[in-house]
Amino acid sequence: VRRGPMVGRHVVVTSGPTHEPIDPVRYIANRSSGAQGTAIAAALRDLGARVSFVTGPASVAPPDGVDVIRVETARQMRDAVDAALPADVAVMAAAVADWRVTNALERKIKKDGSGKPPALEMSENPDILAWVSGLNKRRPTLVVGFAAETNDVIENATAKRKRKGCDWIVANDVSPSTGIMGGTENAVTLIGPDSAEEWPRMSKEAVARRLAEAIAEALA
């Protein structure tokens, strides 16, 4: 039996990296572990929400008690989010690859003895956050994006919120000196249409719980 302020609410959470194939055995990826997205899905579940958890190939296990939809590429992630809608809330915590290989091959690329490496042509991937924010009838009531910045965090994240059309941006400082990238803690600023709230440094689970509570309050 579900209990909590999010009972009756449906939330879509994206998490993890995406893998963009080069050929059947090789891919382009990034170092996202999926830890923050996983913690957010678990925190929303704990508040009673029904959670559709759309995850790329992450290195942490998905939480129990959520609907897990596993995808590999950015385009598969967009399609999975599309299929999961309608939702009251979308939290886009995935580190989606910005580009994919246009000419991904069906067969393994072989060295041809010429000494010339293959040329990979790249295409831009769909921006899932911008797309979901721009929906009309199917737009979730609250759309939350993330912004990993290394400098001018609030300024850059505020601009990103406007550009993407989402309601909130969770901005974090990922400069190497913070040790946040790949770590267990996070230091974030929650940016809304006319506010910026700086949270103290805390565990990714604590960030997730506080964000889930803010989401529940915003919907109430």
Cα–Cα distance list, 96 to 18, 64, 145, 208 (Å): 5, 23, 12, 20
Nearer to ligand C5P, 33 or 125 (CB): 125
Does residue number 13 form part of the binding site for ligand C5P (CB under 6 A)?
no
- Rule CB under 6 A: choose which of 96, 143, 212, 216 binds ligand C5P: 96
Task: Give the nearest distance from C-beta 117 to ligand C5P in angstroms.
Answer: 27
Q: Among 25-33, 92-100, 111-119, 182-190, which window interacts with ligand C5P (CB under 6 A)?
A: 92-100
CA distance linking residue 104 with residue 115, whole number of Å: 20
CA distance linking residue 115 with residue 113, whole number of Å: 5
The answer to whether residues 69 and 56 touch, using CB atoms and an 8 Å cutoff, is: no
Is residue 30 part of the annotated active site? The answer reads: yes
Does residue number 191 form part of the binding site for ligand C5P (CB under 6 A)?
no
The answer to whether residues 171 and 157 touch, using CB atoms and an 8 Å cutoff, is: yes
Does residue number 41 form part of the binding site for ligand C5P (CB under 6 A)?
no
SS3 98: coil
Task: Give the nearest distance from C-beta 74 to ligand C5P in angstroms.
Answer: 5
Residues that bind ligand C5P in the complex, under the rule CB under 6 A = 14, 74, 92-94, 96, 125-129, 145-147
